[in-house]
C-alpha cells in the first residue's frame, strides 16, 4: 500500500475534520497528553451549530476550549474520568462532571458498554509502516478507537515515539481523518519538591525495600520523595511496573538503580501506561527499548502485578478513618481527583510474593476555611466521602509519625494502630471517638 497517498487523501484542516460531529454525539478526547488541541479549538468554534454534544476526557493538562467557549453548557457537556487541577476547578464551577471508574476496567467500559461517535486523539507522526503511535498515553486509547464510529488523529511532531508491549498504535487504514498540528510544545509538570515531612515518610518506606524490588509510584510529593531517596540509597536492580511514568524513574535510572533485570514479568522492560512529567522524561521515552508502553488493563491488572515478586506500591491519600477506609479522591462530596489505579495496585501488591503496598499521607494539614490545623485521620469518612480503598484491602499506612500494617487486624487493632501514627495533638480526641464507635479496647490503659 502507498501510505503517503492514503495520508494525503485523509488529511483535513481542523475545521473540516470536526464537521463530522453532530448534535447528540458522544465525542472522546482520550486522556492526558493524548488529548487534541487544534481539534478541540475547532469543535469549540461550532458551539452555535451544535446541541447536546457529550465529551469524555481525563486528566486535562491544558484548558479545554469546548468548556471555555461554552460556560453555559448550551452545546457541550464535558466529563472526566480523572480530575487534573484544571478539571477540579471546572467541577467546582459546575462545568465538569465526574465518571467513577477503577482504572483497569476502563478499556472494558468502552468495549462492552459505551458509545463513541467520534474519537479524537493526539499521536506521534506516522511511521514508514503506516502506524500512528499513541506516544505518552496508551491507557485505554486502543479500546476507545475500536469503539468509535469515526477516528480523527491529530499529529504532533513533538510527541515522542513510545515502544510498546501492546496496543500502542493505530494503523492509517483504521483512521478516517488526519489533522497536522506541526511541532506543538507539550505541557510539562515538574516533580513536586519533597520537604522534611516527605523525606521522613520516604525513609520509612525505603528502609523496607529490598534489592530486586519492582516499584510503582503514584503522583505527588511523597511518592516522588520515595523515588528520589531510592535513587540515593544502596538498593540495587530495581524494576518498574506502573500506571504513571514519572520523573522519579528517570532519576533512579540515571543513578543506576533501575535495571529491570530481576522482574519476574516483562524482564528487562519498564512497563507503564501513561506519562506526565518534564521534557527530559519525554525525551527518555522516545524510541527507548528499555521502556514498554502497555494498555491499562495490563499494567493495572492485579493478576499481573501479583506475578511480580517483591512488588512495592507507593501512593498518597487525602484522609483515612479509624476503620481503615482510605479516601484518596474526595473531600466529602467535593471530587478532587479520581480512584485511578490505587485500588488496582494495593490489591496486586499484597498478592505479590514479598510485595507491599503503602498509602502515605501527612498526619495534619491547615484547613483553608478556618486557618486551623486539622487531622487527616478522622473517626469516620465524612458524609458523601468516597472510599477509594476499602478497609479490607489496606496494607501499610505511613505518616511522619510511623508506619503500621493493617492486614488481618481487628477493628480495635486498626484503631490503635491508626491513632498511633496520627498527629499527637489529635490522638486523645481520636481515642474518645474510637470509644464512642466501640472500636477501642476497654483494657487499653492509654
Please list the active-site residues: 243
Q: Cα–Cα distances in Å, from 128 out to 25, 133, 171, 174, 182? A: 33, 12, 11, 16, 18
- As a whole number of Å, the CA-based R_g of the chain is 23
Locate 271 and state its grid cell. Answer: 512497563
Which residues touch 312 (CB under 8 Å, ≥6 apart)?
205, 208, 209, 213, 214, 215, 216, 349, 355, 356, 357, 358
Contact 223, 248 (CB under 8 A): yes
- Quickly list DSSP for 104-163: GGHHHIIIII---SEEEEEEPPP-TTSEEE-TTB-BTHHHHHHH-SEEEEEEETTS--B-
For the chain, report the end-to-end CA distance as a whole number of angstroms. Answer: 77
Show the beta-strand stretches assigned E in 302-409.
311-316, 319-321, 326-327, 330-331, 334-335, 356-360, 364-366, 373-375, 377-378, 396-399, 402-405
- The secondary structure of 259-288, three-state, reads CCCCCCCCCCCEEECEECCCHHHHHHHECC
H-helix segments, 307-382: 342-351
Locate 181 and state its grid cell. Answer: 498540528
Q: Give me the half-sphere count of Cα atoms (radius 13 Å) on the Cβ side of residue 210.
A: 9
Distance CA 394, CA 10 (A): 50
- Quickly list DSSP for 385-398: ---SB-TTT--EEE
Which residues touch 54 (CB under 8 Å, ≥6 apart)?
25, 26, 27, 76, 77, 79
Q: Is 399 buried (19+), middle (13-18) or exposed (0-12) by CB count in 10 A? A: buried
Strand-strand pairing, 26-28 and 118-123: parallel
Contact 296, 354 (CB under 8 A): no
Amino acid at each position: 500500500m502507498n501510505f503517503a497517498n492514503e495520508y494525503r487523501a485523509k488529511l483535513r484542516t481542523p475545521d473540516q475534520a470536526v464537521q463530522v460531529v453532530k448534535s447528540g454525539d458522544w465525542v472522546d478526547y482520550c486522556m492526558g497528553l493524548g488529548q487534541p488541541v487544534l481539534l478541540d479549538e475547532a469543535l469549540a468554534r461550532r458551539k452555535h451549530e451544535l446541541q447536546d454534544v457529550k465529551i469524555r476526557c481525563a486528566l486535562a493538562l491544558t484548558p479545554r476550549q469546548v468548556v471555555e467557549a461554552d460556560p453555559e453548557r448550551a452545546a457541550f457537556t464535558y466529563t472526566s474520568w480523572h480530575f487534573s487541577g484544571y478539571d477540579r476547578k471546572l467541577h467546582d464551577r459546575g462545568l465538569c462532571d465526574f465518571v467513577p471508574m477503577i482504572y483497569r476496567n476502563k478499556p472494558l467500559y468502552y468495549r462492552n458498554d459505551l458509545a463513541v461517535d467520534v474519537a479524537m486523539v493526539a499521536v506521534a507522526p506516522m511511521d514508514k509502516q503506516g502506524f500512528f503511535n499513541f506516544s505518552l498515553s496508551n491507557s485505554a486509547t486502543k479500546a476507545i478507537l475500536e469503539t468509535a464510529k469515526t477516528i480523527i488523529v491529530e499529529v504532533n511532531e513533538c510527541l515522542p515515539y513510545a515502544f510498546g508491549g501492546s496496543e500502542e498504535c493505530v494503523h492509517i487504514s483504521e483512521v478516517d481523518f488526519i489533522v497536522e498540528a506541526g511541532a506543538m510544545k507539550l505541557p510539562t509538570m515538574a516533580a513536586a519538591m519533597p520537604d522534611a515531612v516527605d523525606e521522613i515518610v520516604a525513609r520509612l518506606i525505603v528502609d523496607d525495600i529490598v534489592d530486586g524490588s519492582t516499584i510503582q509510584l503514584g503522583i505527588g510529593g511523597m511518592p516522588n520523595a520515595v523515588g528520589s531517596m531510592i535513587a540515593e540509597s544502596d538498593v540495587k536492580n530495581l524494576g518498574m511496573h506502573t500506571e504513571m511514568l514519572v520523573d522519579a524513574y528517570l532519576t533512579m535510572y540515571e543513578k543506576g538503580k533501575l535495571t529491570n533485570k530481576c522482574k519476574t514479568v516483562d524482564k528487562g522492560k519498564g512497563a507503564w501506561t501513561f506519562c506526565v512529567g518534564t521534557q527530559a522524561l519525554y525525551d527518555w521515552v522516545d524510541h527507548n527499548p528499555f521502556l514498554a508502553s502497555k494498555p491499562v488493563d495490563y499494567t493495572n491488572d492485579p493478576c499481573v502485578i501479583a506475578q511480580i515478586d517483591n512488588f512495592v506500591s507507593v501512593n498518597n491519600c487525602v484522609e483515612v478513618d479509624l476503620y481503615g477506609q482510605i479516601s484518596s479522591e474526595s473531600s466529602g462530596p467535593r471530587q478532587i481527583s479520581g480512584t485511578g489505579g490505587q485500588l488496582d495496585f494495593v490489591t496486586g501488591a499484597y498478592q505479590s510474593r514479598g510485595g507491599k503496598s503503602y498509602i502515605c499521607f501527612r498526619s495534619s494539614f491547615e484547613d483553608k476555611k478556618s486557618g486551623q490545623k486539622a487531622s487527616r485521620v478522622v473517626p469516620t469518612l465524612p458524609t458523601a466521602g468516597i472510599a477509594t480503598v476499602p478497609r479490607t484491602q489496606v496494607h501499610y499506612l505511613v505518616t511522619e509519625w510511623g508506619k503500621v500494617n493493617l492486614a488481618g487486624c481487628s477493628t480495635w487493632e486498626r484503631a490503635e494502630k491508626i491513632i498511633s501514627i496520627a498527629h499527637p495533638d489529635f490522638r486523645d480526641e481520636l481515642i474518645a471517638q474510637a470509644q464512642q464507635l466501640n472500636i477501642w479496647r476497654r483494657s487499653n490503659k492509654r
